[in-house]
Structure 1
């Protein structure tokens, strides 16, 4: 369908607009689309009237296209008809229709009343569009408010997220700082523990002093100076020392000398003049319970010390002072004990037909002086008493107690008595003299006219007897209990025959006992070593034989206990000295 209108004045334009609206309504064009079409057409027609001339409005309903969803289209075209209107590009618009309207022609009456009524009817579409526009404005206003609220929430959320981010960053920074501080504290504690182990590993105070610079340089100090008062007194002179070190020695407090305060905990600040040089000085006294041993002076590895490092250095100085003081005490007690030990080592007597060889080795750990001892002396009846004993413990006290037991035994032996009787008296003596100190001992008595040996033991490893034919017996008859324990006891004597060439070994547990193995394997090794000798070897060199016995038994260089060995060998008559000894014995009997 196609309709055409000639437009030359405003009435023609009004009639054309009304016709277009009615035709669009008849073909089911939606209200909003119809209003848009009418409004756009009105504006175009107004422009045409302004330009003047005759214009033509062409309305065309096209058939629907292919496809189930296709619909007719209403097309409007405004163009000059060539009868006086100026040329211009045609105006076109198209809207989709939703149906067909048979018989609708879009004609509008020409009388004014009908035209006015048609114009008023045309405003209904405008009213509907305005109503929908109002609804859209309300909806837009609602969404605008919601958007505003959403934006406010987003802003608040961003603010919260930003605050949470800052708090998280601060927490991470605090955690890193705490981790760094903990790592520094762990490093200082590890250093302090390792340094303490190094300082206490030695009992030589000179060695401890030499180890201090190695521990501190270069991490905690550039230079280290150790000023020991006793060493300076021993040199007979006074070496120059910084004023800060002198003040630390006089006051007993750590001193820091630099051109600015150090602010170190527990350290007094001094002016730069007390430093005596271009670098700061940290002077720390070496404290003891009585008086400082000296002063440790350090220069910093950088510009200054960290306060926590200074606290650690003061603690290290305290521990070093204790180690040096303990080493000096140890050296003093060791000198006394060694002097006493040397004084108490017996010169073995010479007896025709009986040879003696003794060995004493101190422990390689600790004070090196213990309570082990050996002795050999004659009784008034001509018998020879040999004894090996061991006082529990080490150090000066054990050495003194050993001396007292040795003296008491010699005194008791003057009155005679068998080995068991002598040990019984020693047991009573020790129990009353030192109730908290104990000892073990074994005594063997040889008589020149008796081819036997009488022995007795109190808590001591059993004697080992090598027979002339090379067989070895362990004399493990039931011994008495340890000397000094709170128990009344009578220690029994045991007697075994002796033949020329026999050897009796008395020893302490340090020779045969090892922590990982016990004592029995050690006794077996001693028996094997003693049995490996021939009678001629023992006759010719008993001292060399004693050294050869100690070799395999003490192959390890570390000994936790003293070692004592006493060999008693009956001449086998294999050399000229043995023949001389037999002649002397015969002369004595005659």
Structure 2
């Protein structure tokens, strides 16, 4: 039976009561959303490194931007750590999805990469073993990744890619480009036995080597090539500003591309000042 609406006009008390009820609902929802955001941010902070390694002649910085919809946590990551032989290792990558499952999977992959890198000095072998690890987990998720090894003495970089977008480099004298080292391999977790050939280059003298996830360079109105060109423009213009400002400005390219997924940036800068002081 349908309910009849009261023909009695609403009184001031009725309006105040309804307004109070609606206000309480809004506050409850806001508090719940804030709690979810704080939980997501805390989880992301715990999954990403608090500091990155550095050494004389090298300065580093990184940034992470959460997804602009859904839970503010995802599968993009960056990492850096010192290897047993004194070299430094850096990685950046993107696990499929932007939810808690992707974030947890990303944490497993980061730990796996660190463990494997302790036993081999070949970034390609690191990715090959990480690929085997992901396939053994039967998680039905995949990840793109760039893994590189940095030699402090020579500033040589050895780089391997697994379906990941290439890095961008620039020098203080105005040169810049896209680092298309090697063909790379498929994303991790797709095909057993995939190979990841490594390629070598040197950290650009008095310059920067900048790695990003596709959340920075690809979007509804931008191809990966267009996004990389925009990152190259930013890096070339600000290469003298240092790694912190570079990372902060490069992550803003994600706003231009219209991408709503999470995004990460990792910057390695050559420090000639430290070289001269040694």
TM-score by length of structure 2 reads: 0.83
Task: Name whichever structure is richer in helix by fraction.
Answer: 1
User: Deviation digits for residues 373-424 of structure 1, max 9, x if unmatched?
Assistant: 1000010111110110110001110110011011111111222332111111
1:481 is aligned, of 186, 190, 197, to 186
CA–CA distance in 1 between the matches of 2:259 and 2:196? 31
CA–CA distance in 2 between the matches of 1:502 and 1:489? 33
CA–CA distance in 2 between the matches of 1:301 and 1:459? 65
- Structure 1 segment 372-411 matched on structure 2, within 5 A: 372-411=76-115
SS in 1 for 2:71: coil
- Consecutive unaligned residues of structure 1, counting only runs of 5 or more, are 1-262, 266-279, 281-299, 305-320, 584-590
- Structure 1 segment 74-85 matched on structure 2, within 5 A: none
CA–CA distance in 1 between the matches of 2:276 and 2:35? 50
- Structure 1 contact 380–416 (Cα < 8 Å) conserved: no
In the alignment, structure 1 residue 449 sits paired with structure 2 residue 153: yes
2:270 is aligned, of 570, 574, 583, to 570
Judging changes above 3 Å, is the alpha-carbon distance between structure 1 residues 533 and 337 closer, same or farther for their aligned structure 2 residues? Answer: closer
Judging changes above 3 Å, is the alpha-carbon distance between structure 1 residues 471 and 554 closer, same or farther for their aligned structure 2 residues? Answer: same
Judging changes above 3 Å, is the alpha-carbon distance between structure 1 residues 430 and 331 closer, same or farther for their aligned structure 2 residues? Answer: farther
Query: Could you tell me which residue of structure 2 aligns to residue 371 of structure 1?
Result: 75
CA–CA distance in 2 between the matches of 1:494 and 1:395? 33
SS in 1 for 2:185: coil
User: Deviation digits for residues 282-332 of structure 1, max 9, x if unmatched?
Assistant: xxxxxxxxxxxxxxxxxx46359xxxxxxxxxxxxxxxx9xx99x96x877
In the alignment, structure 1 residue 546 sits paired with structure 2 residue 247: yes
- Structure 1 contact 440–459 (Cα < 8 Å) conserved: yes
CA–CA distance in 1 between the matches of 2:8 and 2:169? 74
- Structure 1 segment 84-483 matched on structure 2, within 5 A: 263-264=1-2, 300=5, 302=7, 335-346=38-49, 347-476=51-180, 477-483=182-188
Judging changes above 3 Å, is the alpha-carbon distance between structure 1 residues 557 and 485 closer, same or farther for their aligned structure 2 residues? Answer: closer
TM-score by length of structure 1 reads: 0.41
- Counting matched residue pairs gives 258
Judging changes above 3 Å, is the alpha-carbon distance between structure 1 residues 364 and 499 closer, same or farther for their aligned structure 2 residues? Answer: closer
2:213 is aligned, of 493, 508, 511, to 508
CA–CA distance in 1 between the matches of 2:125 and 2:191? 18
- Consecutive unaligned residues of structure 2, counting only runs of 5 or more, are 10-24
1:529 is aligned, of 227, 234, 250, to 234
In the alignment, structure 1 residue 491 sits paired with structure 2 residue 196: yes
- Structure 1 contact 468–499 (Cα < 8 Å) conserved: no
SS in 1 for 2:125: helix
Query: Could you tell me which residue of structure 2 aligns to residue 116 of structure 1?
Result: none
- Structure 2 contact 59–271 (Cα < 8 Å) conserved: yes
